[in-house]
Amino acid sequence: MKYKRILLKLSGESLAGELKTGFDPEVLTSYARQIKEATDAGVQIGIVVGGGNIFRGLQGTGKGVDRVKGDQMGMLATVINSLALQSALAEAGARCKVLTSIRMEPVGELFSKDKALEYLDAGNVVIIGGGTGNPYFTTDSAAALRAIEIEADVLLKGTRVDGVYTADPEKDPTATKFDSLTFGEVYERGLRIMDLTAFTLCRENNLPVVVFDMDTPGNLNKILTNKNIGTIIKG
């Protein structure tokens, strides 16, 4: 396998699939099977999931919820998604642990690097819920932070499109896909891949990022076996 340990970032919206909110059982099953296949091949997998299918912190701004409380609600949404994915992984036959950035036993154990590495080395998928545990930070920032902490070889950002394009391919039919980019090129072109905090964390810690289509079954394994899909950002 190309990578021994990865951090997989999934958006909350992706779990909703065509339903737009909540969970799409078919999506959860597909993701779980792909992740199980990767762990069976010996890859250690950490996962951070967003919460946009349930609640996004900024949704509450201007609607009677202050930003801090709204972000805390968003953190709880990511934990709900983590538990849903854990259940799907268990159904697929994978061993999985949920760690949380804020203390909420028995829902999940409080995250620490040592605990995460212990579970990864024992063959568990480790899902880290609760974002960074702080308001004003996105789950992209949480994914970058956790990837660095668990010493992942790469951050894989699963999306609905098959890489990074010159423009939104869903809106601009002339948009063209990049096979690879440097961090500097992403800054210069103003490409929106992750928020600036997350992206800077990856750049400063030499953590490659691969953007790919997680919704196509088998794509995760293709990346891990060095197939040329998605867009890689490094250097």
Higher-scoring residue by pLDDT: 223, 64: 223
Residue extents of the structural domains in the chain: 5-233
- Pairwise CA distance, residues 230 & 29, whole Å: 22
Which of 5-14, 60-69, 87-96 is predicted with the least confidence, judged by mean pLDDT? 60-69
Domain spanning 5-233, CATH architecture:
3-Layer(aba) Sandwich (3.40)
Residue 194 has pLDDT above 80, yes or no: yes
Indicate the average pLDDT of the chain. Answer: 94
- Cβ atoms 46, 146 nearer than 8 A: yes
Q: What percent of the chain has pLDDT over 90?
A: 82
CA distance 204 to 48: 20
Q: Is the CB of residue 8 less than 8 Å from the CB of residue 128?
A: no
153-173: average pLDDT: 91
Pairing of strands 5-10, 209-213: unpaired
- pTM here is 0.95
Helix (H, G, I), strand (E, B) or coil at 9: strand
pLDDT, tens only, 54-71: 987 666 566 678 889 999
Q: What are the φ/ψ torsions at residue 178 (nearest 5 degrees)?
A: -95, 135
